[in-house]
């Protein structure tokens, strides 16, 4: 028997009178991030609802300077690094990202701080009243949050808002904005049921954020994806620049006693020279994301923004991003990462032995049913010594651990177990590791968020500082 979608709560003044009530109203709407297969994307995703609400609010998005970030993997990292760089240049920066790890307030940030409960309450009330006045029905969870974020950014008079696309691009609620610059992180397979079953189709949907005259900074892509992005950029009259093509970009890996293993990147244009900039986040893929950030900075400078190169570099070094290659426990060593598609899991498996010394790797893994599960399992099989399949309690689309275990049999040769809950999986993992081993919890943002909350609530003596680098990290760590 099919479950009915949640019925939106009416705009009841008494319900909206409190923060808790406003959250209940928000969560009463369909959340496509957690929904099952979306049968008719063209009907499910529509920009007219968001536009109508924003019009009632005075079109706050039309008064914002913005950067719009699309892609499959690396969007959140790109937003975090760009926000840190611009903040160091004296800009008040708004960040709109998804999903959140623990608290919904993480999705809307100004000046590096989550939106307060009071400000989110006010924004949700304003959006609810605007929707009622506009006669908008059947709103979605993400549309409400997008409108709330744009309203809050305008109210806070941010200098620049950085918006991460939620899903795709063309029909995503964030696509109501006309940004100063668009950024495209690397594109790979994800959400095929909505965006299409080929990279070309996925790329075309993501290119839907391109606007006339708005420069696009793009990460290196496959030939197929690059061709589509160039075609769509020409169609939209949007100048596009790719790292390693129009933008002179290089990266290199090094290790030093002071900084340990890390990447450095160089980017040079007629306006800008960034020479041997240290990438603040771990992994080769983060070097690419950092390059996109520097390209966006250059594009903003081209449009007249006074962004000092030394301030940008200093800001990058202050980047904080929870839930990505983050150590949450020291004994045993436990790392969480929100890798949620095949390309991201593969990047994580390549990155771990570069930055962490260990004898054996135990992975606690859970993912959504709508993901490229085969691709994710192949990536795990290349690096993990043992895998414990589980599921998060926060995602109704979570794949059954037993089903994951059965699918993994095709890749053979590795020890596996299943656990009904993350807590049980972590306990199994603890029993399986020794002093020189590590545990990695990955597969979805929901799982990473549940794990982070679990360890934040434990005694401080058991947990490492959030985002701390491993003291024994080093290349060639795993033989």
Q: How far is Cα 207 from Cα 191, in angstroms, rounded to an integer?
A: 15
Do residues 301 and 158 both lie within one domain?
yes
Do residues 452 and 331 both lie within one domain?
yes
3-state secondary structure (DSSP) of residue 17: helix
3-state secondary structure (DSSP) of residue 441: strand
- 277, 293, 316 — which closes off a domain? 316
Residue 387 has pLDDT above 70, yes or no: yes
Tell me if 139 is assigned to some domain: no
Asked if residue 310 has a cis previous peptide bond (ω within 30° of 0), the answer is no
Residue 60 in contact with residue 150, Cβ under 8 Å?
A: yes
Q: How far is Cα 424 from Cα 415, in angstroms, rounded to an integer?
A: 17
Do residues 90 and 219 both lie within one domain?
yes
Do residues 161 and 275 both lie within one domain?
yes
Enumerate residues 6+ apart whose C-beta is below 8 A from 201: 195
b/e 255-287 (16+ beta carbons within 10 angstroms → b)? eeeeebbbbbbbbebeebebeebebbbbbebbb
Tell me if 399 is assigned to some domain: yes
Residue 69 in contact with residue 183, Cβ under 8 Å?
A: yes
- 316, 336, 366 — which closes off a domain? 316
Do residues 278 and 161 both lie within one domain?
yes
Reported in sequence order, the residue ranges of 115-159 that DSSP labels E, i.e. its strands, are none
Mean pLDDT in residue range 188-203: 76
Average confidence score pLDDT of the chain: 89
Residue 240 has pLDDT above 50, yes or no: yes
Count of domains for the chain: 2
pLDDT of 357: 92
Mean pLDDT in residue range 274-282: 96
Do residues 311 and 407 both lie within one domain?
no
- 316, 349, 367 — which closes off a domain? 316
pLDDT of 461: 41
Tell me if 91 is assigned to some domain: yes
Q: Which residues on neighbouring strands pair with residue 333, listed in sequence order? A: 438
Do residues 394 and 245 both lie within one domain?
no
Task: Provide the domain limits for residue 354.
Answer: 326-462
Do residues 156 and 213 both lie within one domain?
yes
Tell me if 125 is assigned to some domain: no
Do residues 309 and 344 both lie within one domain?
no
Residue 22 in contact with residue 12, Cβ under 8 Å?
A: no
Asked if residue 56 has a cis previous peptide bond (ω within 30° of 0), the answer is no
Do residues 424 and 275 both lie within one domain?
no
334 or 13, which is more confident: 334
Q: How far is Cα 13 from Cα 16, in angstroms, rounded to an integer?
A: 5
Residue 442 in contact with residue 383, Cβ under 8 Å?
A: no
Q: What is the pTM of this model?
A: 0.90
Do residues 303 and 346 both lie within one domain?
no
CATH of residue 207's domain is 3.40.1190.10
DSSP state of 186: B
């Amino acid at each position: 028997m099919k479950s009915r979608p949640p019925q939106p709560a009416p705009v009841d003044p008494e319900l909206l009178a409190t923060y808790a009530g406003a959250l209940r109203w928000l969560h009463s709407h369909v959340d496509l991030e957690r929904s099952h297969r979306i049968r008719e994307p063209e009907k499910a995703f529509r920009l007219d609802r968001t536009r109508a609400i924003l019009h009632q609010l005075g079109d706050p998005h039309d008064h914002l300077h913005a950067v719009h970030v699309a892609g499959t993997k690396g969007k959140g990292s790109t937003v975090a690094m760009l926000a840190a760089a611009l903040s160091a240049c004296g800009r008040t920066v708004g960040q709109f990202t998804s999903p959140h790890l623990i608290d919904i307030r993480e999705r809307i940030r100004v000046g590096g701080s989550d939106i307060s409960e009071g400000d989110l309450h006010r924004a949700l009330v304003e959006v609810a009243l605007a929707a009622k006045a506009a006669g908008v029905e059947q709103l979605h969870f993400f549309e409400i949050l997008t409108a709330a974020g744009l309203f809050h950014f305008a109210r806070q008079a941010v200098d620049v808002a950085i918006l991460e696309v939620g899903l795709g691009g063309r029909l995503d609620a964030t696509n109501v904005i006309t940004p100063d610059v668009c950024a495209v992180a690397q594109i790979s397979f994800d959400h095929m049921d909505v965006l299409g079953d080929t990279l070309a189709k996925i790329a075309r949907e993501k290119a839907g954020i391109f606007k006339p005259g708005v420069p696009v900074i793009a990460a290196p892509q496959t030939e197929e994806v690059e061709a589509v992005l160039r075609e769509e950029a020409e169609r939209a009259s949007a100048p596009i620049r790719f790292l390693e093509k129009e933008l002179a970009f290089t990266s290199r890996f090094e290790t030093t006693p002071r900084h340990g293993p890390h990447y450095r990147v160089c980017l040079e244009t007629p306006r800008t020279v960034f020479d041997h900039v240290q990438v603040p986040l771990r992994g080769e893929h983060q070097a690419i994301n950092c390059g996109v950030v520097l390209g966006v900075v250059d594009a903003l400078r081209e449009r007249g923004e006074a962004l000092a190169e030394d301030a940008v570099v200093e800001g990058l070094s202050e980047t904080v991003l929870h839930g990505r290659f983050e150590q949450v426990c020291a004994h045993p060593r436990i790392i969480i990462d929100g890798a949620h598609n095949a390309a991201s899991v593969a990047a994580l498996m390549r990155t771990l032995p570069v930055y962490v010394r260990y004898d054996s790797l135990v992975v606690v893994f859970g993912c959504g049913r709508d993901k490229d599960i085969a691709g994710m399992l192949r990536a795990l099989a290349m690096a993990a010594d043992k895998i414990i399949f589980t599921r998060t309690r926060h995602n109704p689309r979570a794949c059954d651990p037993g089903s994951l275990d059965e699918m993994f049999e095709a890749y053979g040769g590795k020890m596996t177990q299943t656990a009904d809950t993350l807590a049980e999986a972590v306990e199994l993992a603890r029993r399986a590791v020794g002093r020189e081993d590590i545990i990695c919890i990955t597969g979805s943002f929901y799982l990473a968020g549940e794990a982070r909350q679990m360890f934040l609530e434990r005694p401080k003596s058991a947990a490492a500082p959030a985002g701390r680098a491993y003291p024994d990290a080093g290349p060639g760590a795993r033989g």
